[in-house]
Structure 1
Amino acid sequence: MTELSIVIPVKNEAENIGPLISGIAEACDGKTYEIIVVDDGSTDDTADIVNGLRAEDARIRLVRHGRSGGQSAAIHSGTLAARGPIVCTLDGDGQNPPEELPKLYGPLMHDTTGRLGLVAGQRVGRKDTVSKKWASRFANGLRARVLHDGTRDTGCGLKGFRREAFLGLPYFDHMHRYMPALFRRDGWDVLLVDVSHRERQAGQSKYTNFHRALVGIPDLLAVAWLIRRRKKVQVMAPAGDNEGSGND
């Protein structure tokens, strides 16, 4: 039985995917795991490389999108395909060190309350350009003031969560940036952990600061609306449906 699924959303990461998968295997050693690579419309050799690795290791799986749907779509497809009850994600560009994965799946596997739904990484010592870090700082500050979600870095790709809890969230494009707020909206506990960050060794970023700003504000307002409209009461069983009626 698979106890852990690692989902990697990728697009044109042929130079990074091999070393990343190798690092994930080391980080998950001793666990019954699978690695699901979601190829989000790559036009390079990413899928061919993954298929070559699959031939050597049956724990590696490939899900392909015919055209690019974005990171949230890739995470959603990977989670739907996952066989494990616990799912961890990390970016396919190699900037999320796979050795940080135990910080994510460990708390979920040892949770005795049944209430921990999400363990979210927060990057320390980011290895990005100054403009990218300033843009993220502004976006995270605005999001925190509106949503009060308690985290300083929702853009970090390192996340671990219960599969059924994630699939119960409202799905929309860019939802991966609002997961702490969405999990709390549904009554789940959220744990925040500091994680390290690496410089990109190959390839190019798929996002620009302008693109992030363009989609960020409508998404933020939509999530704020979802939180305000969340279900606040539970439906009680009708009278007479309780045990002890004597009609068994």
Structure 2
Amino acid sequence: MTYQFTIIVPVYNEADNLLRVESELLNYLKIATVTTTVLFVNDGSSDNSQSLIETICKRNGAFEYISFKENKGLSAAIKAGFDHVDTNLVGYIDSDLQTTPEDFNILLEHIEAYELVTGVRSNRKDAFIKSMSSKIANGIRRTFTHDGMIDTGCPLKVMKTDYAKRIPMFRGLHRFLPAMIMLQHGRVKQVSVRHFPRIAGTGKFGFWNRLFGPLVDCFAYLWMKKKYINYDISKSSTRK
């Protein structure tokens, strides 16, 4: 089968969630509006995640995985996914299932006219401190990037793969994907998606790394924006 869309699922110590992830993704594949495959990226988990991922992939032909030797962080996992995929469209979803794969169809409705379509978590089900720190962090990022993104940290996105592969990723840059697409003169759209409470596993980001980390990363983004190389070819004699 020729696939059009790859869903990247970064995994770090999510053994308690993975069978639910399998079930939810299998249900989505039945209703997906484009032919879809799934790529797990195991970010050096120290629990039973890798064994479960291998079992899941063995019994589902549309599922694949890559696994890091050691934990490298969410940005590295997403970049590895971008590097690996060969479909025209790529997206990702967190393995905590606080968003639902079903909402990929909502994003896919708009992807033809945009280079990235990102979810906005409506009616968030997080604790007050988590929601407030995320809101502050989003405000800080908007001040630096002027990208207009309400919820850039939403773990539900779809983008055109050729744009995704050109993003020069560094640690923490997963928070700046819309801004990095816009640096390539790509078009970005925000769409409301559903949000659910975490019912298994534990969150990987705390209050301080939601606030201090993004602030530091904003300066890295500004440096990259100043140095970023972007060009358009007007003519070429090459056959590629």
- Fold in common (TM above 0.5): yes
Say whether the 8 Å CA contact 2:39–2:65 is kept in structure 1: yes
The residue number in structure 2 matching 1:100 is: 103
Question: 1 CA distance for matches of 2:55 and 2:186?
Answer: 39
Say whether the 8 Å CA contact 2:184–2:230 is kept in structure 1: no
The residue number in structure 1 matching 2:146 is: 148
The residue number in structure 1 matching 2:69 is: 66
Q: Which segment is superposed worse, 78-87 or 8-17?
A: 78-87
Which segments of 5 or more consecutive residues in structure 1 lack a partner in the other structure? 243-248
Which segments of 5 or more consecutive residues in structure 2 lack a partner in the other structure? none
Say whether the 8 Å CA contact 1:147–1:181 is kept in structure 2: yes
The residue number in structure 1 matching 2:28 is: 27
Say whether the 8 Å CA contact 1:104–1:160 is kept in structure 2: yes
The residue number in structure 2 matching 1:82 is: 85
Say whether the 8 Å CA contact 1:28–1:102 is kept in structure 2: no
Q: What letter corresponds to residue 65 of structure 1 in structure 2?
A: F
Taking structure 1 as the reference length, the TM-score comes to 0.88
Superposition pairs of residues 148-167 of structure 1, within 5 angstroms: 148-167=146-165
Question: 2 CA distance for matches of 1:28 and 1:236?
Answer: 40
The residue number in structure 2 matching 1:246 is: none
Question: 1 CA distance for matches of 2:231 and 2:42?
Answer: 40
The residue number in structure 2 matching 1:57 is: 60
Q: What letter corresponds to residue 219 of structure 2 in structure 1?
A: L
* Structure-2 change in CA distance of 1:207 and 1:230 (3 Å): same
Match 1:43 to one of 43, 46, 69: 46
Say whether the 8 Å CA contact 1:88–1:104 is kept in structure 2: no
The structural deviation recorded for 1:183 is 0.5
The residue number in structure 2 matching 1:11 is: 12
Question: 2 CA distance for matches of 1:50 and 1:230?
Answer: 37
The residue number in structure 2 matching 1:132 is: 130
Q: Deviations over 1:63-104 (max 9, x none)?
A: 101111111111111122213110110101111111111122
Q: Deviations over 1:157-216 (max 9, x none)?
A: 101111111111121111110011111111000011111111001111111111233322
**Aligned with 1:191: secondary structure?**
strand
Percent identity, please.
29
Q: 1:179 aligned to 2:182?
A: no
* Structure-2 change in CA distance of 1:231 and 1:38 (3 Å): closer
Question: 2 CA distance for matches of 1:95 and 1:77?
Answer: 22
Say whether the 8 Å CA contact 1:140–1:152 is kept in structure 2: yes
Answer with 1 or 2: which has the greater Rg. Answer: 1
Say whether the 8 Å CA contact 2:98–2:195 is kept in structure 1: yes
Q: 1:223 aligned to 2:224?
A: no
Question: 2 CA distance for matches of 1:141 and 1:81?
Answer: 32
The structural deviation recorded for 1:235 is 6.7
Q: 1:194 aligned to 2:192?
A: yes
Question: 2 CA distance for matches of 1:40 and 1:63?
Answer: 9
Q: How many residues align?
A: 234
Question: 2 CA distance for matches of 1:233 and 1:55?
Answer: 43
Question: 2 CA distance for matches of 1:183 and 1:233?
Answer: 14
The structural deviation recorded for 1:229 is 4.0
The residue number in structure 2 matching 1:245 is: none
